[in-house]
Structure 1
C-alpha cells in the first residue's frame, strides 16, 4: 500500500500475516535539514521624536517597556514659549480694551446719527475703527493658538504600539526639534536567517521550519520547539549569503536581536526508511530482521536520522539494507 507524505513522497509496501508484518523497502525522498541561527527582528523600528526644541523635563518610559500608539512617553519644555504666551496675552488684553472703547464710540455715533446731530461719515469712521481692532484681535487669537499648539507639541507620543528599544536622552537633556527621544519596535517580530549561497536554490517560500527554545543550544524537549514557515526569500545574495525571513507565532518574549536555533529544509535526498519497531539493539549493535526466501535473518545495520510520517516513527538505515529487501517487524 502506498502512503502519501506531507511535503514528501514515500512508498512503503507491506503485507501482513498472523504474527508479523513484512515491509518491502523502497527509496524514500526525505528533506535535507540544516540548523542555523535566526536573529529576531521587528517589522518596524520607529523613532519617537521631539516636535519642538527645548529641555526634557520628564521621561515616562524605560528600555523594555511596552507602549501603545499615542501614549505619552516624555515631555519637552521650551521656556521661550511661556514668555511668548505671556506677551501675546498682554497684547490681547490691550486690544480687547481698545475694542470695548471702540464699541462704545460706535454706539454713541449711531445714536447721534439717528438724531441728526452727526454726519454719516462720522459713524462710518467709528465703525471702521471698530472693525480694524476686531480683526487685530482675531489675528492675535490665531497667533495665540499657534503658540498653545507649540506648547502641546512638547509632549512626545509613541508612534506605534510595541516595546521600547532604547532611550538615548535623559531628564534635563537639551534637544532640538526632530531629535530622537526613544526607539520603538512595533509591528510584531520575525526571524531573519542568513545561509550560504549554495543553499539558495533549496530554500522555498512556504517551507516549514522548526524553531528551538530561547538560547543558543539545541533542545531535545519537543514541547519547547515550535514551528514556523519561510515568509520571504530575498533575491539578492550579499557576501556569499542568502537572506530569508521566517514567520513564527509568539515571539513577543524574545529580545530584538536575540538569536535562536532554526532548522530549515535546504533540499532533498533519497534514503531507506524502516519503521522504528523493526530496529532492535543488543549489546550496542543494531539489527533488522530481513526475510530471505522463507527464512528470517538478522542483519546488522547502522541507523541514521529519525522521521515522523503520518504520525508513525521511521528510522533511516545508512548501511546494511538495499532497496527491495523485505523487513520483518513485530
Structure 2
C-alpha cells in the first residue's frame, strides 16, 4: 500500500511540472504587445568618397620689411600682433650720421653760393670790359694785346662760373641722395596689415638686406593646401571644393583661385589656392579640404532608427514573423543625401544617415520609431 501511494504521488508531481512548463513556453512565444511603427529596409547606397588634406588660411600679401642702409635700430614702435595702417612708422634706424652729412653739405652749398655771387660780379665787370675793348679794337683805339687780355679775363671767369655751377649741381645731388637715404631710416607700413614677426630689437645693428619685420595684409585671405602630385590633372580650375574649419565649426564650399603648376620635388605635392569669403579668418587657421575621388556603395541607415542602450548603439530588427529584436551595431561615418548621392555630413543637417560596419545585412527590416517598441514587440 505505501508503495502504490508513492508512485501515485510522483505521477501527480510530474503532471504538475509539465503543465507549468507548457504554460511558460506558451507565454514566451506570445509577443508582449503589438504596435504600429514605420519600418526601413536596409540596402546599399552610392556614397561619394573623399580624400582629406589639411591646409591653412594664408594672406594675399605677406611682406618682409628689410633695412636698405646700415645703422643701429633706434626705435621699434610695434610688436607682434599689432595692426598697422598705411604710412605708419614702425621702426627707426639711427639717423644722426646722415643728418650730420646733410648739414656739412648744406654748409658747403652755402659757401659755394657766396662764391658764385662774387664771381658773377667779377664776370659782369669782365664782360663789360671785354665788350669795351672789342669796340675800341675795331676802331683801332686799343691794341691787340689789350683786346686779347680783356677777352682772356672774361673767358677765364666764364669758365670758372661753369665749373662752380657744376660743383653746386654735384653738391645739390649729394644733398638729395643723403636726404633720400635719410628717409630709409624710417620703416613705414606699405598697407593695412598685421605684424606677425618682429626680427630685431632696439640696439640691433642692421645692414642692407637685414629683415626687420614681417607683415601680413588684412585685405583678403585665401585657403592654401598641398595636394599629391597625382591629383594635379584632376583639379577642376573652375571647380568648388568642400573645406571644413574645426575651430570655427563651419564648412564652406570654396571656389578655386589658383592651381600652382609646380610640384615640390621633395614632398611630391603641388599648391592649390581657394577663394575665401569675408569673415573672421586669421592667418594660419587650420582647415580640411575634402577632395572627391569616386563613389562606393555602403549600407546606410537613418539616424532616427538608432537606439542607444548605454554606450551601445543598435536598432530593432524585425524578423519574418514581425517580432522586434534589439540588434547591436558598429557604426561608421555620418552622411547626408544630396541628389542621388550621399556625401559626408560636413554640415549640420536635419536628416543624417550612418554607415553600418557590422550587425546588419542588405534587405533587413528595422524600426524607424524605436521608442515605440522593445524586445519581443510585434510590429505591424
Q: Please, which of 239, 250, 261 is the counterpart of residue 225 of structure 1? A: 250
Q: What does residue 307 of structure 1 align with? A: 335
Distance apart, 1:149 and its partner CA: 0.9
1:60 aligned to which of 53, 72, 77:
77
Shift of 1:211: 1.9
When normalised by structure 1's length, the TM-score is: 0.69
1:275 is matched with 302
**Partners in 1 of 2:191 and 2:123 — Cα distance?**
56
**Residue aligned with 1:172, SS:** coil
Contact 1:47 1:159 in 2 (8 A): no
Shift of 1:49: 0.8
CA positional deviation for 1:209: 2.8
* Greater C-alpha Rg: 2
* C-alpha spacing 1:203/1:270, structure 2 compared with 1 (3 Å): farther
- CA RMSD of superposed structures (Å): 4.1
Pick one of 21, 28, 53 that aligns with 2:45. 28
Structure 2: distance between partners of 1:68 and 1:286: 59
Bigger drift between 295-304 and 44-53 goes to 295-304
1:188 and 2:221 correspond:
yes
Structure number with higher helix proportion: 2
The alpha carbon displacement at 1:303 in A equals: 5.5
- Structure 2 residue 208 is the aligned partner of structure 1 residue 174: no
How far does the alpha carbon of each residue in 1:224-267 deviate from its partner, in whole angstroms, 9 at most, with x for none? 3333659669745746x85765745546445x4x6x47374575
Instruction: Give the one of 289, 298, 302 matched to 2:324.
Output: 298
TM-score, scaled relative to structure 2 = 0.61
Q: Indicate the structure with greater strand content.
A: 1
Q: Does 1:286 find its partner at 2:317?
A: no
1-structure distance, mates of 2:70, 2:121: 44
Aligned counterpart for 2:355 among listed residues 294, 316, 328: 316
Contact 2:241 2:289 in 1 (8 A): no
Is 1:262 the counterpart of 2:288 in the alignment? yes
| SS in structure 2 at match of 1:213 | coil
Change (3 A) 1:281 1:93: closer
Kept in 2, the 8 Å contact 1:230–1:245? The answer is no
Question: How many angstroms does 1:131 deviate by?
Answer: 2.6
- 1:170 and 1:103 map into 2 onto residues whose CA distance is 53
Superposed CA deviations along residues 23-47 of structure 1, whole A, max 9, x for unmatched, are 5554222245677765555565432
**Offset at residue 307 of structure 1 (A):** 1.7
Q: What are the Cα deviations for residues 64-105 of structure 1, in whole angstroms up to 9, with x where unaligned?
A: 112345542111124332232222222211211111112212
List per-residue Cα deviations over 1:87-140 (Å, max 9, x = no partner): 222221121111111221233234445555784724444333323322221221
Deviation for aligned residue 1:146 = 0.9
Secondary structure of the 2:65 match is strand
CA contact (8 A) 1:287 1:298 kept: no
Aligned with 2:243 (options 200, 205, 209)? 209
User: Superposed, which structure 2 residues align to 1:63-102 within 5 Å?
Assistant: 63-102=80-119
Alignment: residue pair count: 294
Deviates more, 1:226-235 or 1:25-34: 226-235
Question: Quick one: distance in 2 between partners of 1:246 and 1:123?
Answer: 74
Gaps of 5+ in 1: 1-18, 215-223
Q: What are the superposed Cα offsets for residues 257-307 of structure 1, whole Å, 9 maximum, x if unpaired?
A: x6x473745755321223333445568563256596xx6453635262322
Matches within 5 A, 1:137-152: 137-152=168-183
